[in-house]
Every structure is written in structure tokens, then in C-alpha cells.
Structure 1
Amino acid sequence: MWTDKQRGLRVSQEELLCKNACGYYGNPAWKGFCSKCWRERSRPPGSQRQTRPSSDEAPPTFSKFEEKKNTEKGRRISTVRKLFWGSASPPKPQETSESHTKMLKAYENLEPGDFTGFLKILRSPSSQRLQSRCIAFLNTMEAYHDLPIQKQSDLVQEFYQSFAEYFRSFPEAQVTQIMEHVEKLIMTRLHKWVFCHDSCDDEQKDLALQRRIRSLNWVTPQMLGVPFPDENTPVTGDPFMPAITAIIEMDAKRAPQDKLACVSKCSQHIFEALSTSNNEPANADDFLTSLVYVVLKANPPRLHSNMQYMIRFGLPHSLMAGESGYYFTNLSCAVAFIEKLDGSALNLSPEEFEGYMRGQRAPAALTKRHQVANDTQKLCEELQGRQQKLHQGVVALTMELQKWVHVVHSQLDEATSQFDKVQKEITAQAEASQVMSSLAQDGSQEKVKEQQPVLLPNDNCQAPKQTAC
């Protein structure tokens, strides 16, 4: 079986983590680093470097971003403030402690995932300051939408950090939920300005990746080592079809968290398909190879742009840790594997791989699939011809039936007219016979009267004698 062969795609848990050993998930788009380490490495040499927490510390929190902000009170913060207020120090509106307490209490009572409730609280008078900051930031981003994409990403990430400071007294889970609402509100408005920006080459990379995936349409699950269900297992269609549908839906979403939710949904469907295919629990290798198969079969539209959009404008916590971060890291590894796919990863020789890429060869499973498709097409053509003949027969039978009905109606009309004539003749004959019988009866009565003798009284006739008892 192909599952016994050594797979060319094997990624351990350590390889998914950041190269800087910070404990967070890395990403091929960041050269194997997490987003925070990558931003630090990309910083100009003259700026200060932030110390990274050790691997045994707690997961990343929004409160820890305050340390980063304090170390970066230079060029970026002054630029943001100048964009917002036109001066180095923004005016601080007067806000009473009672109003601030009321606002915090309203956000504390917010249900998880209630985006409509978040908007209602944000529009309330107690949240006037937060609402004004959101409106000012949106207006600024729309006015300066021609800035380089990396600059826009820095501004958005800086806004997330500054907004999270209002809720630093909240538990981390509650701050994360509030910031997810903020991200959805901000990025839904900014999607048309920052997605696939003109200052980057995302569109060209999308086309190149799409052509690459299309050229690998001959890759079968057997070559990747994807555990498909056995022949004895009743499965209708491709078990990975729900995962393919979920990854395609990613392009229709606007907020980064909604796109990331499609990635998570796709991954969960893959695990469900693997659970029906194997009697053993799914491992990381099976999941990654199945994800590669799903991406090859789906060929999602603007895959590179969607991934870069989540990297640039998504919340760092969602991409660096947790279940969603693990799924996104695996998706990045799958895309990187597809871009560098060669014959050794598929247990093929270089000559066989080139033959498949040029279309000179076809896998046995693919050939069998084409044969089944051709047989099905021939059967469909044969059935179509039989259907046409049957349709012609039905039309001819309908015409003959109409003619027969017409003949039957004419014969019925003729029989009805003849029946009326016969009935009239019978009636006339009956009346004539009745008249003849009445005449014959009258004549017989007259003959009887003529033949009856006339009895005359005789004098010699004596009355009977009376005898005595």
C-alpha cells in the first residue's frame, strides 16, 4: 500500500514553532519566526530590541504588548499620533470616572460572540471616546490608503494595542473577545482599501500559485499518502469535499478572523474525514498531507493574498497561539510544500515527475478515473439515444392514438345514427302490430256473436221435481 512508503512531507511539532524559541508558532511567510520576532528582526538597526519571554512563560497576552509599546515610543507612535491629531500629543477629552466605570461594566456583561451587542455598547454615550477613536482611525486609514502595505499593517497593529489598553484590567479571555469584535469592525471597513494592495505583488503571486496548483492536478491521494477510506467502508463521494468547500469560502469573507475561521473549519472537516478513513487516531503527518491534497483539489482563489491579509491585519494572538494558530501554520506549510513539490516528495523519479508535469504520463488511478469517465460518457450517450428513440415512439403512438380516437368517435356517431333509425323502425312496427292485433280482436268478437245459438223457451220443459226429504 502507498501508506507504507515513506512520506516526503513530515513536519514535527518543533518545526512548527518559532525559530527564536519563544514558544509561539512560526510561519514560512516570516522565515520560520512568529509575528513578533519577525517584526523585531525587520526593525531598523538603530531601534531598540525587545527582550523575548522564555518558553516556559504564559501564552501571549494583550497586556504584554504594553511593554512593546513602551520600547517603541519613537518613530511609529509619533507617526500615528500625527496622523490622528496632527500633533505629537493628542488632546485628552474629559471623561468622568462614573462614565468610565459604566462603560467597563457594559463590556464586562457582553456575551461572547455577540457582535451586535458590541456595536450597541460602542454607540452608547458612555463609549463615546472609544467610538470617536475608531471613527478617526477609519477616516485616517481611508484618507492615507496609498501608504505602503507594511506601513498600513503597522498602523492597524498599533491601533489594536492602544485599544486593548482600555481593558487591561479585564481577564485575558474577555480582552481577546473584545478585540475580535474590534478587528471585525475595523477590517470589514478597510478590506477594500488594504486587501491585495497595489504597493505589493500579491496579485502576481496569486496567479503564480494558481498556475502551480493547476499544473499539479494529476497528483493523487495515493502519491501524497492520504489515507482514503477502504473499499468496504460505505462512503459517498470524496470525504474531503466539505473541507474543500470551506477553504474556497475563505475568499468571500472580509474580516481576518472570518477567513481564519474558514481555515479552522476546513481543518476540522479534514480530521473528521481522517477519523472515518482510519481506525487509528489521525496524526500530524496525515493531517498535513490531507491539507495539501485539499489545497490542490480546491485551488482556492487568491490564496496568497488571503494569507497575507490575515498575517498583516489579523490579531497576533489568533495566528501565534491556540488552535487557529496551529491550523494556519499548517496551511502555510502546505502552501510552501506545494511551491517546492518535486518527485522525491511523491516517491517519483525526476523523469517520472517531469513526464507527469508535461502531461506525457498519467497516474494509474487517474487513468482508471478517465476510463470510468469515458465509459460513463458513452453510457450517457447511449441512454440519450434510447431516450430520443423512446420520445419518437411516444410521439408516433400519440398520433396513432389520436387517429384511433377520431375513428372511434366517427364509428360511434355512425352507430348512434343507425341505432336511431332501427329504433324508429321498431317503434313503427310495434305500433303497426298493435293496430293489427286490435283489429283482429274486434273481428273475432263479431264472429263469435254470429255463431252463438238462440235459446227459445220450450213448453214441454218441466221444472225439476221437488222431493221430500
Structure 2
Amino acid sequence: MSLHIVGGLLIKRFGKTGIRSVNLLRFRLAQEFLLCFILTKNTFGKIINKTMSKKPSRFHVDESDLWCKNQCGFYGNTAWKGYCSVCYKSLTNRQQSSSHRVHQHASVEKAVSQRQATPELSYSKFADKRRQQSKTNPVKSLFKSTKKDKSEVDKTSSKGHHHLKSEFGAFLESLSRPIYEDISKRVQNFLSKFKLLPVNSTVETWSDAVQDFYQIITEHINVDPIYQTLEETAVENLQDQLEMYLMNRLYNVVFCPPNSNDEQEDLSLQKRIRSLHWVTIQQLEANVNDQDIGVRIALDKSIADIIELDTKTLPKDKLACIVESSRKIFDAFRLSNEKSEVDGGPQSVASADDFLPLFIFIILKANPPRLKSNINYITRFASPSRLNSGEGGYFFTNMCCVVDFIEKLNAESLNLSEEEFDSYMSGRTTAEGVNTVYVCDGLRLIHENNGMIRRLKERQEKYANSVLNLEHKLSEFREQFDEQINQLVLRAPLTLKPKRGKADIDLDHDIPHSLPSPILPQQISNSQI
């Protein structure tokens, strides 16, 4: 709002009689505005320079895109078609109920038509039945309710099952006796029901069973009076222990099961990432200086954290790897800004638009093993509270967006022509720049050693030039010194006298005439004295 508008409003408020006061107020407002402008001139200039110098990113994800489509206040997920786990589950239940009615109607019509049609040969039906029995996967038989299958389930669990059971039991014993008995009973009932699931159950059925158990336990804790004495941190710890115990027991069965397409999706995604090894930071427009050694170390640690994702068993630990990798990315931004500040270059605060391109680069260079299986495992069996909110849910949602972007990446995504993109994909053209050092540790080590050798060679050449310059100066000094000595000799020549011999007083030789006569003794009388 300008000063004229402010003044006009004041005139309207106070009338024409207060024009002088208004003019005085205008003058004071102008003074204060000018003072504020002078004090903040440098700050506004820096902000404007940052804003004008920063180009809009093509890898932009609105904050609203991360939330559930149903606008329930939780994070959505591409695996859930943009919904959160709760909304997606209610949506699928409605769809399944409608499809079940349609399927029932179709089966009735089929039965009526089969009665009217000619019966097929019994041998063909027998062969089909035998063929279906032969396709039964031995892993599915783990869930049959027999003693043999029960022992197989125990064998497929982790090696530290007894230690896990004792650890979970020790935690429950730290709680009150009613809570201990209630949780133990509910967990055992769930595991028994889980083993009794049909042999041809899909992984979605297993996921629904686990998620229903999480929801039932949460609602039971909120309602049952025996849990009212627990604090919020104790309730969260109890839910973490439940998830840890169940997932350790079921991990070998529910992770990348043979009755799903997880393995095929893993191979397809790994092949896709391998074909995009040529993508550089510059092409992704990541606002970070990857030539700095500190930035490269932070990015290497981020890559290591993402690769470590597959070594974890619990969804909580897998999300922790994603969070740590994301934090290393922000460390890289911070180190890059510090380097830019030292060099006097422009600075900028890392935002979501800066984070996403660098996260894409990290996934491309890490190519984590079984990435799709890990994402599906977290989506299916993690506690809903972890994915719908919090730091882990936010970064996990971003990683799902990154994977979806990689699967759909094309020439337009990287601002390339179709010919250039096809040339890169076929290997006819390789990307230029120092980012190729991230292909593997060996190439990066070669790059660093070449740089070190280049710097040593430059120093050696500098020292060799210094030595030659010193030799030249010494030669000039010697010539000048000899010339000055010669001039001094010419100006004051040196006359050499004959060498004196030793004087021998015992030798007989003629006394030279030039010597004075010897001194004779004088006699002095007493009178003279």
C-alpha cells in the first residue's frame, strides 16, 4: 500500500481539518520507510538475486501432490493410487464387494449354461486338476495347519527366533500383568489364523490381515481400560515391539513372495536404472557442487544408506535408511552452500524442488537391490502411522515419486531431443562431465588419482622453473662479482715485494756502508756530573 493511499485513508478518517497532521504523518512515514529501506537494502538485494538467479525446476512436486487424494490429512502413495493406506483400503473394499457381486452373478449364469451344455470328458478334468496341483508352490504350503507345516514356518523364521521371542516376552513382562496376557493372547491368535489362510492366498490378503491386526490392536488400546495407564510413548513402544515381532516372524514368507510380481518388477526396475547410468547432475538440474570433496563424501554416504535398505528386516529400519539417506542429501546441500559462500558465489536454501532431482540422482547411481520389493514390503506391512505422517512417511513418499519418475523418464524429462536421448540410451554417446566418477568406486579412485598426479606434476614444474631461475641468478651473480674484482685490481694493482730471509747474527759478512757508525761509550768526569 503506497503512502498516497495511506494518506487518503487518513484524510477520509480525520476530515479536511486534519490535513496538516496528515502531511506531517506522511513525512514521518516516508522517513521510516526510507530508513527501513536503507537498513534492509543489502538483505533485499541478496534475496532478489537468489530469486532471479534460480531457475524454475522441471522436477517439481507440489506439497499437495504428496497428500492423500481424499484430503484426509495423511501422506498418499503412488502404490495406493495417491491415497493413504486407510482410504485406499476402504476404496478397495468397496470395489471388491461390487466385483464379488458381479462375479457371483457370472458364476450362476455359467453354472446354468454348463448344465445345458454337453459334459466334457472326465479325463480332461482329471488332467487339469493334476496340473493345478503340480503348480502349487512349496512356500504356500507353509501356511497349512499341520504339525509339519508349523515346524516349517518356524524354520523359515529368522535364526534368532528364540532370542526374539524372549526379547518380546521380556518387554511384555515389563508391563502390567493384564496387558502382558492380553497382548500375548492376541498375537498368538493372529499367528494361528495367519497360518490357516488358504494356500492360494495372495500377498494382498496377507497384507490386509496384518493391517487389520494393527488397526484392531490400536482401537483396542484406545478403548480397553487396562491400557489407560500407559503413556503415549509407552503405547508407541508397544506398537513398535508388536511390528518388530510379527515382521521378524513373517519376513521370509511375506517379503518378495513367489505369488507376487515383485521379482519381475525388481528386474525391470534394475534394468531401467542400469540403462540410465549416463544421467548426470547437470541434466537433472540439481543445485549442488558435486566437484567439492565434502559434497561427494556426503553423496557417497547417501548412496550407501540406500543400498543398506535391503539388508534390514523391519519396515521401521528400512524407513530409517531412507531418512538417513535423505539427511545426507541435505548435508550435501549445506556443504555446497558453505563452499559457495567461501568462493563468493550465490547461495540458496535447499527446498523440495532441489531435493527431488538429487534424490533421483542418488537412486540412479545406487541402483539398490530389490528396490521395488522393499517399497512393496513397506507399503504392505508397515504400520499405517509410519507412512501416513512423520519424517519417514514424507521421505518414503518422495522415494515412491522418484521411482515413478524413473520408470516414466523420457527425452522431455531431461530437456533433450529424441535423437540425443536415443543416442544416450543406446550407448553411442556418453555424457560429459565429472559425474562419471560416480559410476563405480574404481573409476572414482582413478579420477582422484589422476587429479592428484596432475597437481603433483604442476608443483614439480613450478619447482623446476624455480630451480632454473635460481641457477640463472647465481650465474649472473658470479659474472658480476668477477667483473667487480677485475675492476678493483685494475684500479689498485698489487705490488709484490721480495721475500725476506731469516737474519743470522753469527754469519760473517761485510757491513754495508750505509749503516751508521757504532756508538762509542763516553766517559764523563765527576765534575760534569
The alignment's TM-score, normalised by the length of structure 1, stands at 0.61
Deviation readout 1:271-310 (Å, 9 max, x if unpaired): 1111111243210011111111110010011001101101
2:376 corresponds to 1:326: no
**CA displacement at 1:349 relative to structure 2:** 1.1
Deviation readout 1:89-143 (Å, 9 max, x if unpaired): xxxxxxxxxxxxxxxxxxxxxxxxxx99764132579213321322332344345
- Who is 1:137 aligned against? 190
1:347-386 superposed matches below 5 A: 347-365=415-433, 376=446
What amino acid is aligned across from residue 262 of structure 1 in structure 2?
C
Conserved? CA contact 1:25–1:321, under 8 Å: yes
What amino acid is aligned across from residue 41 of structure 1 in structure 2?
L
What's the secondary structure of 2:294's corresponding residue?
coil
- Who is 1:12 aligned against? 62
**CA displacement at 1:344 relative to structure 2:** 1.6
What amino acid is aligned across from residue 209 of structure 1 in structure 2?
L
Conserved? CA contact 1:7–1:346, under 8 Å: no
What's the secondary structure of 1:276's corresponding residue?
helix
C-alpha distance in 1 between matches for 2:325 and 2:217: 31
1:39-438 superposed matches below 5 A: 39-45=89-95, 119-123=169-173, 126=177, 127-142=180-195, 144=197, 146=199, 147-168=201-222, 169=228, 170=230, 172-229=232-289, 235=294, 237-278=296-337, 279-365=347-433, 376=446
**CA displacement at 1:31 relative to structure 2:** 1.2
Question: 1:310 and 1:234, CA in 2 relative to 1: closer, same or farther beyond 3 A?
Answer: closer
C-alpha distance in 2 between matches for 1:43 and 1:22: 18
C-alpha distance in 2 between matches for 1:175 and 1:322: 17
2:84 corresponds to 1:34: yes
Question: 1:212 and 1:258, CA in 2 relative to 1: closer, same or farther beyond 3 A?
Answer: same
Conserved? CA contact 1:138–1:189, under 8 Å: no
Deviation readout 1:399-451 (Å, 9 max, x if unpaired): xxxxxxxxxxxxxxxxxxxxxxxxxxxxxxxxxxxxxxxxxxxxxxxxxxxxx
C-alpha distance in 2 between matches for 1:21 and 1:323: 19
Question: 1:343 and 1:163, CA in 2 relative to 1: closer, same or farther beyond 3 A?
Answer: same
Conserved? CA contact 2:168–2:245, under 8 Å: no
What's the secondary structure of 1:10's corresponding residue?
coil
Question: 1:130 and 1:270, CA in 2 relative to 1: closer, same or farther beyond 3 A?
Answer: same
What amino acid is aligned across from residue 423 of structure 2 in structure 1?
G
Question: 1:116 and 1:327, CA in 2 relative to 1: closer, same or farther beyond 3 A?
Answer: farther
C-alpha distance in 2 between matches for 1:258 and 1:374: 30
What amino acid is aligned across from residue 257 of structure 1 in structure 2?
K
Question: 1:224 and 1:374, CA in 2 relative to 1: closer, same or farther beyond 3 A?
Answer: closer
Deviation readout 1:182-217 (Å, 9 max, x if unpaired): 101110110001111122101100000000000000
C-alpha distance in 1 between matches for 2:445 and 2:181: 69
**CA displacement at 1:333 relative to structure 2:** 0.4
What amino acid is aligned across from residue 7 of structure 1 in structure 2?
S
What amino acid is aligned across from residue 388 of structure 2 in structure 1?
M
Alpha-carbon RMSD: 3.3
C-alpha distance in 2 between matches for 1:175 and 1:374: 47
What amino acid is aligned across from residue 159 of structure 1 in structure 2?
F
C-alpha distance in 1 between matches for 2:232 and 2:446: 58
Conserved? CA contact 1:164–1:175, under 8 Å: no
**CA displacement at 1:145 relative to structure 2:** 7.8
Conserved? CA contact 1:25–1:326, under 8 Å: yes
C-alpha distance in 2 between matches for 1:260 and 1:367: 28
Conserved? CA contact 2:326–2:359, under 8 Å: yes
**CA displacement at 1:181 relative to structure 2:** 1.4
- Who is 1:23 aligned against? 73
Deviation readout 1:386-410 (Å, 9 max, x if unpaired): xxxxxxxxxxxxxxxxxxxxxxxxx
**CA displacement at 1:43 relative to structure 2:** 1.1
Conserved? CA contact 2:273–2:367, under 8 Å: yes
What amino acid is aligned across from residue 29 of structure 1 in structure 2?
A
C-alpha distance in 2 between matches for 1:309 and 1:355: 36
Of the two, which has the highest radius of gyration? 1
Deviation readout 1:41-97 (Å, 9 max, x if unpaired): 11135869xxxxxxxxxxxxxxxxxxxxxxxxxxxxxxxxxx9x9xxxxxxxxxxxx
C-alpha distance in 1 between matches for 2:221 and 2:444: 64
Unpaired runs of at least 5, structure 2: 1-52, 99-142, 146-164, 223-227, 338-346, 454-529
Conserved? CA contact 2:295–2:335, under 8 Å: no
What amino acid is aligned across from residue 39 of structure 1 in structure 2?
K
**CA displacement at 1:237 relative to structure 2:** 4.1
The alignment's TM-score, normalised by the length of structure 2, stands at 0.54
**CA displacement at 1:364 relative to structure 2:** 1.6
Conserved? CA contact 1:142–1:193, under 8 Å: no
C-alpha distance in 1 between matches for 2:288 and 2:386: 31
What amino acid is aligned across from residue 212 of structure 1 in structure 2?
R
C-alpha distance in 2 between matches for 1:328 and 1:274: 20
Conserved? CA contact 1:274–1:282, under 8 Å: yes
Give aligned pairs, total. 314
Q: Runs (4+) of structure 1 moved beyond 4 Å?
A: 3-6, 45-48, 115-118, 170-173, 366-370, 372-377
